Structure formats: C-alpha cells, structure tokens
Amino acid sequence: MAYTVAVAGKGGTGKTTLAGFLINYLVEKKLTPVLAVDADPNSNLNEVLGEDVETTLGDIREDVSIKNRDGKLPAGMSKTDYINYQLQQAVIEGKGFDLLVMGRPEGSGCYCFANGILREATDRLSDNYKLMIIDNEAGLEHLSRRTTKNVDIMFAVSECSKRGIEAAARVKQLIEELKLDVKDLYLIVNRVPPEGLSDDIKGTIESYDLKLAGTVPMDMKVFEYDNKGIPLVQLPKDSDAVKTSRQIFDEILITRLKA
Ligand SMILES: Nc1ncnc2c1ncn2[C@@H]1O[C@H](COP(=O)(O)OP(=O)(O)O)[C@@H](O)[C@H]1O
Ligand SMILES: [Mg+2]
C-alpha cells in the first residue's frame, strides 16, 4: 500500500501550495511513483503542478450513474471493468507523478452504486504507487469515505494566528470523530512573519498538544507566481517558502520513508 501523506486545514491556509511543494520534493528525491490526489472541490492542485484536467472522478460518477439508470452501460463489459477503464482515463500523467482530481461533490442523484465501485477502484489504484499525497478539503469528507482510512502522516496547515491554531486543533478532533487511522499528526504554521512565532502562539500550540513540524515564512515570490499564473512548482529552490518546507520534509519524512 502507498505511504499516505494528507494535507488538511482551513481554506486559504496554504494546503495546496504545500502539497505541491511536497510532490515536487518527492519527485526530485526520486521517491516515486507518486499519486497526487486533489480531494478539494474548490482546489487547484493541478495549477500549482502545471497540469490540465480533463476528467474528474465526479464526472465519472455522474456518467456511470446516469448510464446505469438508463441501462446504457456498454454490453459485454462488467460495470467494474467499465469504471476501471474510465478511472484509467482520468489519471493525469505528470513528470514523476500521476494526478487524480476528485472534482465536484455529489449532487442529488443516487450515487451509491457508482461511489462504491469508484472508491474501491481508487483504493486499488493507490497500490501501484510508493506514495500518495492527498490535498484535502477542510472537512476531511473524502478521507472519511475511503474504504481504507489510514493515513501515515497528516499535516494540519495553519495561518499564523491564535484562531488559526485553534482551527488546526479541530483537525485533530475531526480525526477522532471520523475514526480516521492517522499515525502522526503535525502542525505546519504557514505565512509566518519575519519575527517568527510569538510566545502567545507557541503557548496556544502547546495548550492543544500539537506537534509542530515547522514554520514556513510569508514569501512574496509565492504570491507573485500565483498572480502571474506560473505553476508554483517552478519557484526557485532557494526561495524562502520552498527552502523551509523542504527542511520540514527532510526532517519528518525522509527518516520514515527509509525505515
Ligand atoms: N508561504 C506563503 N507565502 C506567501 N503566500 C502564500 C504562502 N503560502 C500560500 N500562499 C498563498 O496563499 C493563497 C492560498 O494558498 P492555498 O495553497 O491555495 O491555500 P488552501 O489550499 O489551503 O486553500 C495562495 O494565493 C497562495 O499563493
Ligand atoms: Mg487548496
């Protein structure tokens, strides 16, 4: 089974940015093949990675549900084979990684049938990879719906404020409520000002018993690339945000992956 790293937290905290940096890092370290999963319907992991999306899992679910209802699934092919075939078409091949986009959430139709098979097929697909990186939506809905719910490392990303840390602490609570099997949860505080974390923020982190993996500074280059529409994975390796996030990955991931 693929070693699974999930990135979670409130919208706008930098989940997708850090997921993109992580995927780029793993490819450079040749810790491949990597399966990147964009599990946030509002997300744009593909843009950070510089890839175009044609088909999402949401599209497949819609297509299969309608064809199944209307009796229009291709004859001579089992439903499972048909979904597997569709899933293969939805895998976007990048350089050293593949990307799967979950896409839109379920509508009001009946998706139980398509969902069940799709879920199993996605879980099976992940067996072909060394690592799976999941860019989550705030509520962790996708993780709770997977058949296998284990995550090796979860990074809860927070902005640099008391309220931000409190929101990250809710990720910890949500993991318990959803009964997710997360082996290690780490906090990353993003967009930290040059003066670093204040004693108050450090106190809040401690009071929630959160393990701090590290901090990533506010980096105007990230903004600049995003606003110009340049994929963030093209940021120079010595830019502040890239450099510090790589240090975090070196420290937290490398020893575990070599074990
Ligand atoms: N360290 C950073 N310094 C400056 N801007 C950042 C940094 N991290 C993320 N951003 C910017 O913040 C915005 C939100 O980031 P994003 O990764 O999309 O968040 P999320 O996936 O959590 O919603 C983006 O415009 C991104 O360019
Ligand atoms: Mg995002």
Stated pTM of the model: 0.94
**Tell me: the pLDDT tens digits for 185-236?**
999 999 999 999 999 999 999 999 999 999 999 999 999 999 999 999 999 9
Query: Structure tokens of 40?
Result: 């946030």
Amino acid letter for position 233: V
**22 CA from centroid of ligand 2 (Å):** 14
CB of 131 sitting under 6 A from ligand 1: no
Right CATH for 3-54+96-104+128-258 from 3.30.2130.30, 3.30.450.40, 3.40.50.300, 1.10.10.10: 3.40.50.300
Query: What's the pLDDT score for residue 109?
Result: 66
Q: Are 132 and 2 in contact (CB under 8 A)?
A: yes
Distances (CA, A) of 233 to 69, 178, 215, 223, 245: 42, 32, 19, 13, 12
Q: Out of 95-109, 118-132, 204-218, give the one with best mean pLDDT.
A: 204-218
Query: Structure tokens of 16?
Result: 């997708």
Residues paired with residue 7 on neighbouring β-strands, in sequence order: 135, 155
CB of 175 sitting under 6 A from ligand 1: no
CB of 216 sitting under 6 A from ligand 1: yes
- Structural domain boundaries in the chain: 3-54+96-104+128-258
Q: Are 135 and 36 in contact (CB under 8 A)?
A: yes
Residue 112 reports pLDDT greater than 80? no
Atom of ligand 1 nearest to the CA of 40: 21
Ligand index nearest the alpha carbon of residue 220 = 1
Cα–Cα distance measured from residue 189 to residue 30, given in angstroms and rounded to the nearest whole number: 27
Query: What's the pLDDT score for residue 33?
Result: 96
Q: What is the mean predicted confidence (pLDDT) over 128-148?
A: 84
**Tell me: the pLDDT tens digits for 51-98?**
999 999 889 988 888 898 898 988 888 888 898 899 999 999 999 999
CB of 240 sitting under 6 A from ligand 1: no
